[in-house]
Amino acid sequence: MFNSNTSVLNDLWPFLRLSGRYGGRFSLGFLLGLVTLVSSVGLLALSGWFITATALAGLTVATAQVFNFLTPGAGVRGFSIARTAGRYGERLVSHDATFRLLAHLRTWFFEKVEPLAPSGLRKYRQADLLNRLVADIDTLDGLYLRLVSPLLLAVAGSCALVILAAIYSGSVAILLAIILSVCLLVLPALFFRLGRQPGEDLVRERSQLRVQLLDYVAGQTELQLLGAVSRYRTRVEQAEEKVLTTEHQVNRVTALSLLLITALTVSTVTGVLWFGARDMAVAGLSGPLVVMLVLATMAAFEAIMPLPGAFQMLGQTQRAASRLRDITEQKPTVVFPEKSIKGVSPEGRVKLQSVEFSYVPSVPVLQNFDLTLEAGERVALMGATGCGKSSVLQLLTRDWPLGRGSIELDGLPLEQFCEQDLRSRMAVMPQRIHIFSASLRDNLLLACGDRSSEVDDRELLKILEQVGLDHLATEDQLLDIWLGSAGRALSGGEQRRVGLARVLLRLRDSKCRLVLLDEPTEGLDPETEKKMVEVLEQLLGDRTLLVVTHRHALLKLVQRVVRVGN
């Protein structure tokens, strides 16, 4: 039990600490919750006392004439207004704080994930990452709203009820103190135990279902062509079945908690009535006060009621927190300094010496690899499929950490450049071009970074014409045409030309002296390829070029060829 408590705390602590940022709002939410609870108890207790006392006062004319109706009436109105206003304010403030916290958590998580890409994220599937970013962070919204706040309110409500009872009846106060202590100590521990395993399973199984569902939807074309739709659908249905079975278990625990809490409320109220009635006979406690204590107890149990559910959910919350920590506590394999160690002017000189590299230990990709490019030199990397050509470019962009050897740019080790400085010196066209679900304009302008406002539509249209993509800018929509998953689909060749257009836009920056192209004309017909080579020839000027290619047409651009591998 001790171990499981420390692991719960370990997993939740970073998130509790982050919520400290909104401590003021959460404290105000708690205070308003307290006002609501006190008003609820006050309303029910005073109403009970008032109705009973009024009925008793009405038995004789003399007592009816002296009975003060006004003050308790005003109290009932006051409590009911305070309860409504308190509840409204509490919901407003605590939900606002929770949404702010969730937004902050998502940015925080994204900032932690970003430096890990791509090497640190290799073992996670995209759908799994998305699931952590959305569903797991959503699960954490229960941490304050369903756990911390109800627990504090239950403790505060229980203390207040025992103090109120102690003013009028010692025996009722002792009874309440015993039952409420048991509720506060036993119920959370019991329902944490009962809910932990199904809760953890549910988070894991829901994540697996989402991953499989996404695979099933994204791979529909292949599945249909290969006749594997029904096999994949069966896998998705099996994953769904598991989720439903676990949800059933969770619901059974919830039902048990409701049964238990209702039974506890009824027996406590009966106990208060019994001890109150005894005090009426023995200690002269008045009837209206007994009714007041009974109704106050019923109202105070409203604060106890959410506790079993909250602790039942703790397993899910802890599992979600631990899945997030899994990623956020990883150290990035590639770290950039805050600032470049030394300022050197961009020339585009590159030197790789005795480079060793592997993605997976014991499977070397590059061994003792050397390559030198003088400023303005143009070199093609060639070699058999899988020999490591793209890996050379990925080492130059620092997507992956270098194993052994050294890589220098403009005479300085690559590790001494801050990320912004390094990126600004290079124009890169990767092997796979990602088309964002955005307008054609935005898909191009992302190559310009902070300087995108300096590029107007005329210039973009000219670049589109140069790479042979001017047909995309239709007459009615021009550059507003939507691309990506929800827009116009692009052929493989068109996607490569979008990549080339981005490179040409990068070349507007005079600091950009090194051009790295990974199979830039793959998938283009010979005519278009020839045109691309001419455009590149025209725009490269005296910049350094390192191009990975299997195509002979591109060799016109370069001065020498370096072969990778044997």
Ligand X SMILES: Nc1ncnc2c1ncn2[C@@H]1O[C@H](COP(=O)(O)OP(=O)(O)OP(=O)(O)O)[C@@H](O)[C@H]1O
Interface residues with ligand X (CB under 6 A)?
Answer: 122, 359-360, 365, 383, 385-391
Three-class DSSP category at 346: coil
Q: Contact at 8 Å (CB) between 119 and 334?
A: yes
* Phi and psi angles of residue 341, each rounded to the nearest 5 degrees, phi first: -65, -40
Separation of alpha carbons 448 and 148, rounded Å: 46
Residue number with CB closer to ligand X (365 or 557):
365
Rounded to the nearest whole angstrom, what is the least distance from the CB of residue 15 to ligand X in the complex? 31
- Nearest of 296, 202, 309 to residue 259 by alpha carbon: 309
C-alpha to C-alpha distance for 264 and 207, rounded to whole angstroms: 36
Cα-only R_g, the chain: 35
Query: With respect to ligand X, which residue has the nearer C-beta, 389 or 543?
Result: 389
Distances (CA, A) of 39 to 27, 89, 113, 180, 264: 18, 13, 46, 20, 22
CB-nearer residue toward ligand X: 225 or 360: 360
Rounded to the nearest whole angstrom, what is the least distance from the CB of residue 324 to ligand X in the complex? 24
State the number of CA atoms in the 13 A half-sphere of 279 facing the CB.
23
CA 44/CA 48 separation, integer angstroms: 6
Query: Minimum distance between the CB of residue 116 and ligand X, rounded to whole angstroms?
Result: 13
Which lies closer to ligand X via its Cβ, residue 115 or residue 484? 115
φ/ψ of residue 536, rounded to 5: -65, -45
Q: Which is nearer to ligand X, 213 or 387 (CB)?
A: 387
CB of 400 to ligand X, least distance (A): 8
Cβ at position 432, least distance to ligand X in Å: 10
Say how far apart CA 428 and CA 555 lie, in whole Å. Answer: 18
Do 433 and 524 contact (CB within 8 A), yes or no?
Answer: no
Sequence letter at residue 261: I
Of the pair 376, 383, the CB lying nearest ligand X is at: 383
Give the nearer residue to ligand X in terms of CB position, either 139 or 391.
Answer: 391
In this structure, what token pair is assigned to residue 507?
């070349």
Query: What does the alpha-carbon distance between residue 501 and residue 464 come to, in Å, rounded to a whole number?
Result: 7
The residue ranges of DSSP E strands in 207-299, in sequence order, are none
Token digits for 249?
Answer: 């278990």
For residue 118, cis peptide bond before it (omega within 30 degrees of 0)? yes
Spatial separation of the C-alpha atoms in residues 218 and 236, rounded to whole Å: 13
CB of 430 to ligand X, least distance (A): 11
Q: Which helix (H) or strand (E) holds 502?
A: helix 492-506
Nearest residue (CB) to ligand X, 272 versus 395: 395
- Residue 320 CB, nearest approach to ligand X (Å): 28
As measured in angstroms, the least distance from the Cβ of 129 to ligand X is 15
CB of 496 to ligand X, least distance (A): 13
Is 290:48 a contact under the CB 8 Å cutoff? no
Closest CB to ligand X among residues 96, 356: 356
H/E stretch holding 511 reads: none
Query: What's the min distance (Å) between Cβ of 123 and ligand X?
Result: 10
- Which residue, 365 or 445, has its beta carbon nearer to ligand X? 365
Distance CA 254, CA 185 (A): 18
* Total residues found in the chain within this entry: 566
Q: How far is the CB of 385 from ligand X (least distance, A)?
A: 4
Q: Which is nearer to ligand X, 320 or 379 (CB)?
A: 379
The answer to whether the Cα torsion of 451, 456, 457, 460 is positive or negative is: negative
Residue 548 near residue 496, CB atoms below 8 Å: no
Closest CB 328 distance from ligand X, rounded Å: 22
Inter-axis angle of helices 306-328 and 149-168, to 10 degrees? 150
Q: Is the CB of 242 or the CB of 551 nearer to ligand X?
A: 551
